[in-house]
Structure 1
Amino acid sequence: MRARIRRERRTYAGYSTRCLVVDGTGPPFLLLHGYTDSADAWRLLLLELARRGRAAVAIDMPSHGHADSVSSDRPGLEQLVDCAAAAADDLGPGTIVVGNSLGGTVALLVAERQGSLGAVVPIGPAAFAHPIWLRFSLQPVSNAIMRITPRILQLPPYLATAFAAKMAPSAIPTYLSHVLRATNHKRLRTLADGLATEAVDPYNLSRITAPVTLVWGTRDRMALNSGAKILLTAIPDARYIPLRGVGHTPQQQAPARVADILCDLRARTHLSVLAPPAPTNPTDRPADPGPLHGTDNP
């Protein structure tokens, strides 16, 4: 039977949003996209999970896709976390939260709040290590400059070109139609101005009690995988899985490999409920996780 993605409208923490859903068994995966993206970023992975009979839900986070916008009276990042945490609560105990880029940041922040998660899987998470050009691009831009600068040179269209170049070809049209729409352009720009300060070292990783599996493409140019050392130092029990030759969006560039990781993780999570924790396997994460930088060889 052909895998099918279902669209639903749901409300989490007061934010109405679009969800892409695949039915299946076991604790579900909650999938959180990156900045300027939407739930559509997960379509290839959703199809992989559906073919394997695994339940998953991808949501449009506030100010993205077809979701409500964040409000101006509170930090935007906090509102993204509120929405994602409410979605995890709705899906129930044991939910595995998976996030890419900004979504990886949000996934970790949700895990800091909630102890009932089955696991958390940040994929190339933001706010650890970024190239200089991206740090400069995300700095707040004054209203005066915004008025005189041609729209195509402003964020997010400026970043859209860089982001789209790293995507699976099938994902590019949907992404660009979303990010270049005038209403989305304005609210994404507003969100970016807040994130430039809110996402600077937002973590308190010692609060996380859920198992952490860190996935990072060795050719990620947006969130440099040198940032893995920071997370692995803070969470010594975390598993680290480098994806050789893969860039910033593994769920699009290597969906089958990501699905393998997630399905193996869910099997581990299920077994941990049935039996006492086994001794840490030293092969889960080597003492030296290998080359952690943005320009390593394939």
Structure 2
Amino acid sequence: MTFKTIRLDIDAVDTVIKVIGKGPTVLALHGAATIEGQEWARGLADRFRVYLPFHPGFGESGPAPHICGMQDLIVHNLRLIASLGLDRPHLVGHSMGGWMAAEIAAVAGERFARLVLNAPAGLNHPDHPSTDLRQVAPQDMPHYLAHRTEIAAQYFPGGSLAPPPEQFIAAREKEGNALKNIQKAHGMGHPNLGRWLSRIPNETLIVWGDRDRVALAGQAELWAGAIPKARTLIVSGVGHFAMQEDPVCVTAIGDFLAA
């Protein structure tokens, strides 16, 4: 099964979406970089048609210098699903994409079916501080992203799944600039996000690796306690790249969406 590529103009932003699989629709939102790729979605493709857009300024999508906060991405994604003609897709978000998915569901949850938040960013609770990856040395980054360092190391220069070093560096620079635009309003989160979560009407699964060194798994109960129809899945022995480290995570997500 291969990925299909769709290219759309969304408010003058060249937006690229990868699509794989057949079945009920899933919209999957990536995190603050595209280092780990999209191969994990093959684990859902036998049961679902998965749409994986690159956010503006990330991956293969074009730049969007007008973006000045997460709210611009919320509007972008709502227009994206309208352009794609998606009818109440399931919504899945990882890390920054989880924050994005949570805000989308808080304002337009009725337009989606089920919601999965995998180690979502954005809550910024003082008792559960996240790691500022800008302060992590490049050679240490795989250790923070996966409990089994060799899993994350595959995606970095010299790894078996990494592009040539010059392409890797150019992609990180491009995505770093796009991330700065998202952070202009409130940084990596929103001070009122916790107040909004009670508006989410969707059945929700919170997935977290118990060895996550980027966003500590203790946050999971905060999210689950604030979202009315939420449950948690804490996966043993995996880090922030939970879906890449253990296929059990992807299978569990598929089972939840299919329920």
Match of 1:119 among 114, 119, 127: 114
Closer, same or farther: CA 62–95 of 1 in aligned 2, 3 Å:
same
- What fraction of aligned residue pairs are identical, expressed as a percent? 21
Q: TM-score, normalised by structure 1?
A: 0.70
Task: Kindly state the Cα deviation for residue 251 of structure 1 after the two structures are TM-superposed.
Answer: 2.0
Closer, same or farther: CA 209–161 of 1 in aligned 2, 3 Å:
farther
1:88 pairs with 2:76: no
1:78 pairs with 2:76: no
Q: Say which one has the larger Rg.
A: 1
Q: TM-score, normalised by structure 2?
A: 0.79
Partner of 2:230: 238
- Structure 1: how far apart are the matches of 2:130 and 2:107? 32
Task: Kindly state the Cα deviation for residue 195 of structure 1 after the two structures are TM-superposed.
Answer: 6.1
Give the total of aligned pairs: 241
Closer, same or farther: CA 237–178 of 1 in aligned 2, 3 Å:
farther
What pairs with 1:160-199 in structure 2 (closer than 5 Å)?
161-165=139-143, 166=145, 168=151, 169-172=153-156, 173-174=162-163, 180-181=169-170, 184=174, 187-188=177-178, 190-191=180-181, 193-194=183-184, 197=187, 199=189
- After superposition, the C-alpha distances for 1:26-72 in whole angstroms (9 at most, x for unaligned) are 2x11111111x13x73522222222x242101111112112232334
Partner of 2:197: 205
Partner of 1:61: 55
Consecutive unaligned residues of structure 1, counting only runs of 5 or more, are 138-154, 269-298
Closer, same or farther: CA 177–91 of 1 in aligned 2, 3 Å:
farther
- Residues 10, 16 of structure 1: 8 Å contact kept: yes
Closer, same or farther: CA 252–198 of 1 in aligned 2, 3 Å:
closer
Aligned CA RMSD, in angstroms, stands at 2.9
- Structure 2: how far apart are the matches of 1:213 and 1:16? 31
- After superposition, the C-alpha distances for 1:126-180 in whole angstroms (9 at most, x for unaligned) are 1235876834x6xxxxxxxxxxxxxxxxx59x57555444353543314976652
Task: Kindly state the Cα deviation for residue 5 of structure 1 after the two structures are TM-superposed.
Answer: 1.5
- After superposition, the C-alpha distances for 1:98-132 in whole angstroms (9 at most, x for unaligned) are 11110000010111121121111110001235876
Task: Kindly state the Cα deviation for residue 201 of structure 1 after the two structures are TM-superposed.
Answer: 2.7
Structure 1 range deviating more: 167-176 or 235-244: 167-176
Partner of 1:24: 22
Task: Kindly state the Cα deviation for residue 197 of structure 1 after the two structures are TM-superposed.
Answer: 3.0
